[in-house]
Structure 1
Amino acid sequence: MPSLKRIANQYLTVDVSSFGAEMQALDTSDGKSWLWNGDAAFWNGRSPVLFPIVGKAPGDAVMIDGQSYPMNQHGFARRAEFTLASSSDTMCRYELASSPATKAVFPFEFLLAVEHVLEGRKLTVVAEVSNRDERPMPFGLGFHPAFVWPLPDAAGQDHIVTLDNQAEPALARLEGGLIAPGKLASPFKAGRLVLDPSMFKQDAMIFPEGAGKGLRYGAEGGPSLHFTFENLPNLALWQKPGAPFLCVEPWHGMAAEKDGSKELAKRPYSLTLPPGEVRRFAFTVEIVNE
């Protein structure tokens, strides 16, 4: 059975499950909850870690060195039991090592470590991927945290995503879960996007490049969450139709392209990690409860 680890300081309390190393709650000391509660009537995820792919593969299979392997959307880590490797009052580190089960679908020796760390009013979530194999390892890595919409004490207010770099990144859409060809005009204006549920009728809004290394999700004149991203060049925003949450998803890797290569190494923004090397990915979120 999955176990739950609680970390806390004077400002924040975070619960993390051993199942998927997935955050289950993010609460402030005033008792307000900021993370989606995983209501299965809409979506039972809360903050899954996506590995070794982000998004969908054609026919739910990937090619690795010309051989086909079954691979569900967003990979297997979010449905795997992790081991608690270390912890303190304000930090926990879970690890997932390769096993016969993982090697049947992803034929590499690897270690995936996921840390949740509190520092003041900030939570940082870190993923480290280690290639323990003797050959280069292709993969993608992404975060998929869902936050309440509306935010606490902000019902009825416009909710806005504001990019730190004030850019207007081009929009990509999905067709059958795969990246559709071509780019669409940006919905951002000078880095500002007023959210509307109708934006998600065609599934996630994906920004393959240009969204920058930080953004703010918040209510007009009210509470907000400020994010910074490390080694995560792709961004998606997603809401299940009618659900009271917004996913702010920083990725390094995306779904396969429609009519594109099935090779994992050739998916958009996939990484290939040399033997013995480690890659770090992280996002930090700070709650600004104005």
Structure 2
Amino acid sequence: MTDDIIRISGGVGGLSAEVNTLGAELWALRDGEGCDLLWNGDAAFWTGRAPILFPIVGALAGDRFRAGGKSFTLPRHGFARRRRFSVLETHDSRVTLRLASDDATRAVYPFEFMLDLTFAITGARLDVTADLANAGDGPLPASFGYHPAFLWPLPYGSARGDHAIHFDAAETARIFRPDAHGLLDPAAQPSPVDGRTLRLDDRLFTGGALVFTALAGRGATYGASTGPRLRIDYPDSPHLGIWSLPSAPFVCIEPWQGYADPAGFDGEIWDKPGIVRLDPGARRSWRMGIELRPAEV
């Protein structure tokens, strides 16, 4: 354990978690027996674990956006995941981290902001809240996303092929896929969700992420037909990405506000899909809950 990793716990029998101050990234999530629930970042597949996406979600056309007549370069998913957050407070079961605008962020994103991430465990539930504040005297454009990668299969004895995502509502609206440049292909595709159930299979991800731009619900349960499951709540996120790599031992269930530029997009950042506008002094929060639920009888 280094000084950059902060551990929190829900007590005996509850979840425990590690949070990295680099990117305010959830670094580990374990059940009460110490079994890992989160992907470990093995570079053989993907070095991420649960990066924070800010101030954009997805890719920009040409990796650039326009604002106020000027052009700026941002990498896919923005810069927050590569920045060190400061620690505002930490307790046995809770930690709050902050990223504030500085000269480095203003060079690529000319806006004043404060982004706080709070991780809090109560028993078998982890709640994460991202609180974004406009710290400037002009409007602030932003998107935000979570990108947690859960083990697939979960560590409870069921095979990968027995795992599925069960949504709270029937997610039957057509979905989108990224193109070769990471931009949203404008050709919508039929939803692979059967009513409320998405059966997980490697073939789902040969075309990249599944991008849900018109969610009907705000929560889902992930796991096998037997054994404990994970409940994921995303009450403030209107979009969702689901992503893995063929044969990879993880699946990402990603609540988003915003998504990649559509192919051919040529507007200013204010026109980017999913961008929210915060007036001076305004705040916006996005919550995500992860709860381990016992096996259904």
Deviations 1:71-122 (A, max 9, x none): 0000000000000001111110000010000000000111011110111211
1:51 aligned to 2:35?
no
Show the counterpart of 2:7: 6
Which position in structure 1 is the counterpart of 2:290?
A: 285
Residue matched to 1:79? 82
Measure how far apart 1:131 and its partner are: 0.5
CA distance in 2, matches of 1:280, 1:182: 31
Corresponding residue number in structure 2 for 1:108 = 111
Deviates more, 1:45-54 or 1:179-188: 179-188
CA distance in 2, matches of 1:76, 1:126: 18
Per the alignment, residue 170 of structure 1 pairs with 174
Q: Is the 8 A contact 2:41 2:49 kept in 1?
A: yes
| 2: CA distance, partners of 1:2 / 1:55 | 30
Normalised TM-score (structure 2):
0.95
Q: Which runs of 5+ in 2 are unaligned?
A: none
Cα drift, residue 211 of structure 1: 4.1
Query: What is the one-letter code of the residue matched to 1:44?
Result: T
Task: Give the whole-Å Cα distance in 2 for the aligned partners of 1:48 and 1:186.
Answer: 26
Q: Which moved more, 1:214-223 or 1:200-209?
A: 214-223
What residue number does 2:164 align with?
160
Q: 1:248 aligns with which of 245, 253, 258?
A: 253
Task: Write out per-residue CA displacement over residues 43-91 of structure 1, whole angstroms, 9 at most, x where no aligned residue.
Answer: 1110111000000011111111231111000000000000000111111
Partners of 1:60 and 1:72 within 8 A in 2: yes
Equivalent residues of 1:211, 1:234 under 8 A apart: no
Higher deviation after alignment, 127-136 or 167-176: 167-176
Please state whether the residue corresponding to 2:186 is helix, strand or coil.
coil
Determine the C-alpha separation between the residues in 2 that align with 1:231 and 1:191: 20
> Does the 8 Å CA contact 1:169/1:188 hold for their aligned counterparts?
no
**How far apart are 1:262 and its partner, in Å?**
4.3
2:287 and 2:34 map into 1 onto residues whose CA distance is 26
1:177-198 CA-to-partner distances (Å, cap 9, x unmatched) read 0011132111111111111011
Distance (whole Å) between structure 1 residues aligned to residue 3 and residue 49 of structure 2: 15
- Given that residues 158 and 226 in structure 2 are in contact (C-alpha distance below 8 angstroms), is that contact kept between their aligned partners in structure 1? no
Deviation of 1:230 (Å): 2.4
Q: Distance in 2 between matches of 1:97 and 1:43?
A: 28
Structure 2 SS opposite 1:43: coil
Residue 75 of structure 1 aligns to which amino acid in structure 2? G
Identify the match of residue 194 of structure 1 among 199, 223, 231: 199
Q: Number of paired residues? A: 290
SS at match of 2:108: coil
Change (3 A) 1:185 1:28: same
Q: Structure 1 residue 126 and structure 2 residue 129: aligned? A: yes
| Structure-to-structure mapping, 1:156-235, within 5 angstroms | 156=159, 157-175=161-179, 176-235=181-240
TM-score by length of 1: 0.97
Q: Is 1:2–1:17's contact at 8 Å kept on the other side of the alignment? A: no
The amino acid that maps onto 2:177 is R
Where does structure 1 lack aligned partners over 5 or more consecutive residues?
Answer: none
**Per-residue deviation, 1:155:** 3.8
Give yes or no for contact 1:26–1:34 (8 Å, CA) kept in 2. Answer: yes
Does 1:267 pair with 2:268? no
Residue 263 of structure 1 and its aligned partner are, at CA, apart by 2.0
TM superposition shift of 1:287:
0.8
Superposition RMSD in Å: 1.3
The structural deviation recorded for 1:167 is: 3.2
Aligned to 2:152: 149
Q: Deviations over 1:132-163 (max 9, x none)?
A: 11111111100000000011123425111111
Q: Distance in 1 between matches of 2:154 and 2:33?
A: 14
Equivalents in 1 of 2:157, 2:199: separation in Å? 14
Does the CA contact (< 8 Å) of 1:180 and 1:257 recur in 2?
Answer: yes
Residue 26 of structure 1: CA displacement? Answer: 0.3
Where in structure 1 do 4 or more consecutive aligned residues deviate above 2 Å?
Answer: none
Query: SS in structure 2 opposite 1:284?
Result: strand
The structure 2 residue matched to 1:34, chosen from 34, 37, 46, is: 37
